[in-house]
């Protein structure tokens, strides 16, 4: 029989045990698991810090010393240790441990006892699981990005900005983010000042449903853009649905709104009826027209109604009225009530958002947060508003007055609700045209600027000045303004048939729909450009040879920029970095200055760095005019 069963049990126990004695923490004993861990070492009778020198700096030796000094035990979980093996390799282990004082019978501290359990296998399994979870999250993010990209490719790139009507839309994907949905919406400007509004829903989810949705949307958009009435457009989509099994039983609501009279013609092809909310917040559903789902052999009768100024017309998919725990009648009542509060401004505080925008975003948020949702949700709203007045301005033939025009034009664009991207393109293009006109006009003459929003949803700006303007050129240092303008907008034309030159540009204006569940901030006002000379040129005190420019660089300030930068670079003989991050407007006159500066530096073999961060106006312009930037 074993004479000392406790000693035998400790020796064979599957945990690490090391006992140290005295202030030097001399190793007094260790069990079999500890000897196996430190195989090949002469440990007994040696100070712990000497016997296990490879643990120095890993806090293990320090913890033994702390416990001996304070008499207080220390515990830890999943601590990592690197142990040098006899062949020189390093073994990594993780341990749960407890280090306690070892006392004499009278209570004095004799030494320190350390015990631990090797949990390396558990820790490695957990780390592997975490890596797997991270991989799965990455795959999820990639799948979600694919869904977003698919939706952006199949849905409209933007909603048109039209005179007399404000259009907004929102799209909330179903809970399964990786399953692209079959909902779609569209707003199609039509000849004569009307707009066609469409919300549709294909049965099912996934790539097949999205592909079918794209086909149906394309057919309806083409017919409606060509002037077809709702019934004729739906008949064309119905023919497609009969040929494509996955399109069968798709539903749609197609409405054509005359923004001048408020007359509305609509067809509910198996789809819920439109909701109308007055500016005062009174809601009513229009009667269903009785149309059948696509591809089912039914007809497409058309109903009519009339909207009053300020009314918001709301089209929606059935995901908003098929929410968990709500009957169809209850959900319809909820939609009418919440949409009415959103339109009237009685819901969430968002004074910058239009009633149509609030009807789309706030209605979804307030309804689904209470009940959840199962299917995709799409809302499309249109509000009758007063058409914007055209902008008419006469600019003196004085380059210092360009800032005032930018402010006036910027305020007009902001009132339209244009995006930052469209405002940037139009401000730069119009600035170039006016600069060109001023340079070819006499000091007593004026340049005329007229801007209007067309029925097709385009900003049309005409600039009239005396003199013969140069044709757009991409190489010559002159004529760069017209070339830059032509790249920024959709269409630019010159007319020299009269006494002088008239340049007309057109640029289609859109606003993005809100893809909810990703990032759908309320629209924020964009500050209008300030008037007057506001360019600043200062040296960066922390970075010698770096100059910071802020404000507009146009024909009125370009000479100053050229003079100052050439002075600072000693005519291009010294390296120079020009920080353009704060430049709010970079006209072709400024581009010409930068080209001149770059040529001087090339001639002297010195570096010129144009620093223009992503998203800055300067970077956008430099990318169009073949000037390198960083």
CATH of the domain at 471: 3.30.565.10
pLDDT over 50 at 36, yes or no: yes
Residue 527 falls within a domain, yes or no? no
Residue 129 falls within a domain, yes or no? no
The reply to whether 306 and 172 lie within a common domain is: yes
Choose among 365, 371, 363, 366: nearest CA to 325.
Answer: 371
Q: Give the model's pLDDT for residue 296.
A: 93
Averaged pLDDT, 547-555: 89
pLDDT over 50 at 473, yes or no: no
DSSP code of residue 353 = S
Q: Which of 67, 92, 118 is the last residue of a domain?
A: 118
Choose among 389, 386, 502: nearest CA to 453.
Answer: 389
Residue range 41-53, pLDDT digits in tens: 888 999 999 999 8
Averaged pLDDT, 130-138: 84
Q: Give the model's pLDDT for residue 516.
A: 76
CATH of the domain at 610: 3.30.750.24
- Quick check: 428 and 621 in contact, CB under 8 A? yes
Q: Give the model's pLDDT for residue 621.
A: 86
Task: Tell me what percent of the residues of the chain surpass a pLDDT of 90.
Answer: 51
What the block records as the tokens of 448 is 């005329």
In angstroms, the CA 86 to CA 41 distance is 8
The reply to whether 291 and 210 lie within a common domain is: yes
Q: Facing residues of 172 across strands? A: 377, 516
Residue range 159-196, pLDDT digits in tens: 999 999 999 999 887 754 445 568 899 999 998 889 99
Alpha helix stretches (DSSP H) within 315-452? 328-344, 355-371, 402-416, 420-439
pLDDT over 80 at 38, yes or no: yes
- Quick check: 138 and 146 in contact, CB under 8 A? no
pLDDT over 70 at 468, yes or no: no
Query: Backbone phi, then psi, for 19, in 5-degree steps?
Result: -110, 130
- Quick check: 461 and 451 in contact, CB under 8 A? yes
The reply to whether 103 and 17 lie within a common domain is: yes
What the block records as the tokens of 178 is 């990786």
Residue range 136-153, pLDDT digits in tens: 877 766 666 665 566 566
What the block records as the tokens of 29 is 């004993």
Residue range 394-450, pLDDT digits in tens: 888 888 788 888 899 999 999 999 999 999 999 989 988 888 888 777 666 788 999
Residue range 509-539, pLDDT digits in tens: 999 888 775 443 343 334 444 444 578 899 9
Alpha helix stretches (DSSP H) within 18-119? 32-37, 48-51, 60-70
Q: How many CB atoms lie within 10 A of CB 174?
A: 18
pLDDT over 60 at 478, yes or no: no
Q: Which residues 6+ apart lie within 8 Å of 92 measured at CB?
A: 80, 81, 82, 83, 120
**Total residues belonging to the chain:** 630
Could you tell me the residue range of the domain that residue 87 belongs to?
Answer: 5-118
The reply to whether 498 and 564 lie within a common domain is: no
The reply to whether 71 and 169 lie within a common domain is: no
Number of structural domains found in the chain: 4
- 508: pLDDT confidence band, cut at 50, 70 and 90? very high
Residue 137 falls within a domain, yes or no? no
The reply to whether 405 and 360 lie within a common domain is: no
Strands 74-84 and 458-465: unpaired
- 620: pLDDT confidence band, cut at 50, 70 and 90? confident
CATH of the domain at 222: 3.60.40.10
The reply to whether 316 and 373 lie within a common domain is: yes
The reply to whether 354 and 445 lie within a common domain is: no
The reply to whether 165 and 268 lie within a common domain is: yes
> Strand locations in 520-571, DSSP E?
536-539, 546-553
Q: Give the model's pLDDT for residue 269.
A: 94
Residue 187 falls within a domain, yes or no? yes
Choose among 271, 366, 263, 346: nearest CA to 311.
Answer: 263
Q: Which of 384, 414, 439 is the last residue of a domain?
A: 384
pLDDT over 90 at 207, yes or no: no
Q: Which of 363, 384, 405 is the last residue of a domain?
A: 384
- 101: pLDDT confidence band, cut at 50, 70 and 90? very high
In angstroms, the CA 474 to CA 491 distance is 17
CATH of the domain at 34: 3.30.450.20
In angstroms, the CA 219 to CA 243 distance is 13
Residue range 249-280, pLDDT digits in tens: 999 999 999 999 999 999 999 999 999 999 88
Residue 328 falls within a domain, yes or no? yes
The reply to whether 603 and 507 lie within a common domain is: no
In angstroms, the CA 275 to CA 321 distance is 12
The reply to whether 379 and 425 lie within a common domain is: no
Q: Facing residues of 314 across strands? A: 275, 381
- Quick check: 503 and 433 in contact, CB under 8 A? yes
Choose among 182, 195, 266: nearest CA to 224.
Answer: 195
Residue 594 falls within a domain, yes or no? yes
Rounded (10°) CA dihedral 185, 189, 190, 193:
130
Residue range 1-20, pLDDT digits in tens: 455 788 888 888 888 999 99
What the block records as the tokens of 400 is 């210092």
- Quick check: 268 and 290 in contact, CB under 8 A? yes
pLDDT over 70 at 481, yes or no: no
Residue 274 falls within a domain, yes or no? yes
In angstroms, the CA 60 to CA 79 distance is 10
Residue 133 falls within a domain, yes or no? no
Residue range 229-250, pLDDT digits in tens: 999 999 999 999 999 999 999 9
Residue range 373-386, pLDDT digits in tens: 878 899 999 999 99
Q: In terms of C-beta density within 10 A (0-12 exposed, 13-18 middle, 19 or more buried), how is residue 526 classed?
A: middle
CA 627 to the chain's CA centroid: 27
Q: In terms of C-beta density within 10 A (0-12 exposed, 13-18 middle, 19 or more buried), how is residue 216 classed?
A: buried
Q: Three-state DSSP class for 393? A: strand
Work out the mean pLDDT of the chain and round it to a whole number: 86
Q: Give the model's pLDDT for residue 143.
A: 62
Q: Give the model's pLDDT for residue 180.
A: 58
The reply to whether 492 and 356 lie within a common domain is: no
Element housing 216 (H / E): helix 206-225
Q: Give the model's pLDDT for residue 331.
A: 92
């Amino acid at each position: 029989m074993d004479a000392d069963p406790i000693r035998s049990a400790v020796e064979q126990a599957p945990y690490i045990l090391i006992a140290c004695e005295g202030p030097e923490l001399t190793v007094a004993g260790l069990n079999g698991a500890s000897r196996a861990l430190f195989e090949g070492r002469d440990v007994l009778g040696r100070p712990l810090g000497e016997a296990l020198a490879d643990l120095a700096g890993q806090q293990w030796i320090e913890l033994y010393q702390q416990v001996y000094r304070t008499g207080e035990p220390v515990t830890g979980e999943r601590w990592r240790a690197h142990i040098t093996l006899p062949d020189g390799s390093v073994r990594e282990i993780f341990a749960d441990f407890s280090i306690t004082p070892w006392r004499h019978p009278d209570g004095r501290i004799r030494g320190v006892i350390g015990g631990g359990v090797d949990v390396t296998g558990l820790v490695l399994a957990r780390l592997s699981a975490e890596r797997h979870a991270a991989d799965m999250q990455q795959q999820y993010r990639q799948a979600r990005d694919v869904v977003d990209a698919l939706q952006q490719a199949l849905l409209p790139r933007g909603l048109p900005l039209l005179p007399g009507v404000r259009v907004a839309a929102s799209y909330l994907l179903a809970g399964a983010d990786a399953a692209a949905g079959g909902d779609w919406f569209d707003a199609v400007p039509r000849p004569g000042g009307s707009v066609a509004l469409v919300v549709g829903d294909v049965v099912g989810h996934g790539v097949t449903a999205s592909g079918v949705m794209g086909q149906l949307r394309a057919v309806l958009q083409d017919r409606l853009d060509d002037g077809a009435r709702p019934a004729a457009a739906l008949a064309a989509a119905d023919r497609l649905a009969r040929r494509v099994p996955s399109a069968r039983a798709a539903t749609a609501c197609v409405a054509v709104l005359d923004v001048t009279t408020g007359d509305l013609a609509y067809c509910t092809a198996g789809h819920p009826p439109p909701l109308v909310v007055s500016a005062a917040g009174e809601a009513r559903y229009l009667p269903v027209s009785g149309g059948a789902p696509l591809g089912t052999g039914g007809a497409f009768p058309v109903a009519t109604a009339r909207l009053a100024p300020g009314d918001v017309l709301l089209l929606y998919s059935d995901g908003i009225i098929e929410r968990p725990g709500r009957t169809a009648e209850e959900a319809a009542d909820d939609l009418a009530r919440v949409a009415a509060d959103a339109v009237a401004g009685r819901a969430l505080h968002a004074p910058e958002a239009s009633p149509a925008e609030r009807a789309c975003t706030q209605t979804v948020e307030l309804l689904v947060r209470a009940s959840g949702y199962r299917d995709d949700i799409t809302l499309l709203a249109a509000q009758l508003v007063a058409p914007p007045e055209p902008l008419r301005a006469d600019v003196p033939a004085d380059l210092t007055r360009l800032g005032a025009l930018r402010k006036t034009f910027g305020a007009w664009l902001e009132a339209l609700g244009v995006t930052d991207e469209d405002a940037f393109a139009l401000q730069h293009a119009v600035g170039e045209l006016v600069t060109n006109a001023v340079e070819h006009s006499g000091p007593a003459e004026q340049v005329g600027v007229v801007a209007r929003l067309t029925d097709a949803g385009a900003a049309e700006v005409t600039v009239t000045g005396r003199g013969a303007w140069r044709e757009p050129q991409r190489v010559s240092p002159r004529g760069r303004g017209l070339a830059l303008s032509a790249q920024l907008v959709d269409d630019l034309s010159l007319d020299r048939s009269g006494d002088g030159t008239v340049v007309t540009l057109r640029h289609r204006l859109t606003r993005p729909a809100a893809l909810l569940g990703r990032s759908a901030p309320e629209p924020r006002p964009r500050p209008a450009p300030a008037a007057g000379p506001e360019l600043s040129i200062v040296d960066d005190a922390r970075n010698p040879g770096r100059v910071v420019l802020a404000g507009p660089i146009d024909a009125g300030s370009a000479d100053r920029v050229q003079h100052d930068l050439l002075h600072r670079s000693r005519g291009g003989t010294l390296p120079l970095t020009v920080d353009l991050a704060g430049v709010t407007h970079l006209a072709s006159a400024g581009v010409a200055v930068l080209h001149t500066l770059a040529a001087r530096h090339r001639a002297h073999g010195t570096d010129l760095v144009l620093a223009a961060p992503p998203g800055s106006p300067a970077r956008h312009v430099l990318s169009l005019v073949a000037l390198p930037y960083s």
